[in-house]
Amino acid sequence: DQQVKQNSPSLSVQEGRISILNCDYTNSMFDYFLWYKKYPAEGPTFLISISSIKDKNEDGRFTVFLNKSAKHLSLHIVPSQPGDSAVYFCAASYDGSSNTGKLIFGQGTTLQVKP
Amino acid sequence: KAGVTQTPRYLIKTRGQQVTLSCSPISGHRSVSWYQQTPGQGLQFLFEYFSETQRNKGNFPGRFSGRQFSNSRSEMNVSTLELGDSALYLCASSWQGPPYEQYFGPGTRLTVT
């Protein structure tokens, strides 16, 4: 049972345009969501997060939107740069003794930004 | 601050052997989580340690174990290695409680032959 899903395995955009990466979740207990970027042979790098009490969080070129009713979140990168080419993982968590220290990850979306 | 470090970076072992991987968290972080990444299963949670105690465990067989030391450094051990244990093993550290951002090390690439 995959609780966090990234249905698009890959995405290709032109440099300077907007990249939109999507993520859906099924567990209504999730109250914290994160995005990570991963290059080959490296560990995931934390990008941005959002609490379920918010519907938007911005950090520079990165914005995450959360739609709780649809159990959907998205990461917008504007403008996209070739250095953004990587695998992007969506992750979720909830506050509870049975879930300490555990992030549940989607399968990832490979973003390619073309010069 | 120095990031999360993991040693060794690469390891080749034979079926049936055991292996120990090491992780040093970011200074001040007391929670250490371990994940296994494979092409088929993605990133799967193994276990989490806090103050030398395992607080949470994922759905992995008992061959996978870990521990944490008083300085928050952590080790994970896999006994009786199987071919399917070939994976990237990632360690992540975080502050206690929310926010839940975890900071990952570069990983240890384990190949079982």
pLDDT (0 to 100) of residue A97: 67
pLDDT (0 to 100) of residue B97: 60
Look up residue B6 and give its two tokens. 């993991």
Tell me which residues of chain A have a pLDDT lower than 50.
Answer: none
* Beta carbons of B49 and B67 less than 8 angstroms apart: yes
**How many other C-beta atoms can be found within 10 angstroms of the C-beta atom of residue A13?**
18
Residues of A in contact with B104 (CB under 8 A): 36, 43-46
Indicate whether B102 pLDDT > 80: yes
CA distance B10 to B13: 10
* Beta carbons of B66 and B53 less than 8 angstroms apart: no
Map residue A99 onto helix, strand or coil: helix
- Partner-chain residue, chosen from A44, A101, A108, that has the shortest CB–CB distance to B55: A101
Where does A1-115 show beta strands of DSSP type E?
Answer: 4-5, 10-14, 19-25, 32-38, 45-51, 56-59, 62-67, 72-77, 86-93, 104-105, 109-114
Burial A33-58 (b: 16+ CB within 10 A, else e): bbbbbbeeeebbebbbbbebeeeeee
User: What confidence tier does B99 reach under pLDDT thresholds 50, 70, 90?
Assistant: low
pLDDT (0 to 100) of residue B26: 95
CA distance B29 to B26: 6
- Partner-chain residue, chosen from B90, B92, B99, that has the shortest CB–CB distance to A49: B99
pLDDT digits (tens, 9 = 90+) for A68-92: 999 999 999 999 999 999 999 999 9
> What's the CA dihedral at A8, B35, A43, B51 to 10 degrees?
140
Indicate whether B14 pLDDT > 80: yes
CA distance A25 to B46: 21
Residues of A in contact with B5 (CB under 8 A): none
CA distance B55 to A100: 7
Q: Is B45 on the interface with A (CB under 8 A)?
A: yes
Least confidently predicted of A89-93, B17-21, B36-40: B36-40
Q: Which amino acid is at A47?
A: L
Closest chain A residue to B58, measured at CA: A102
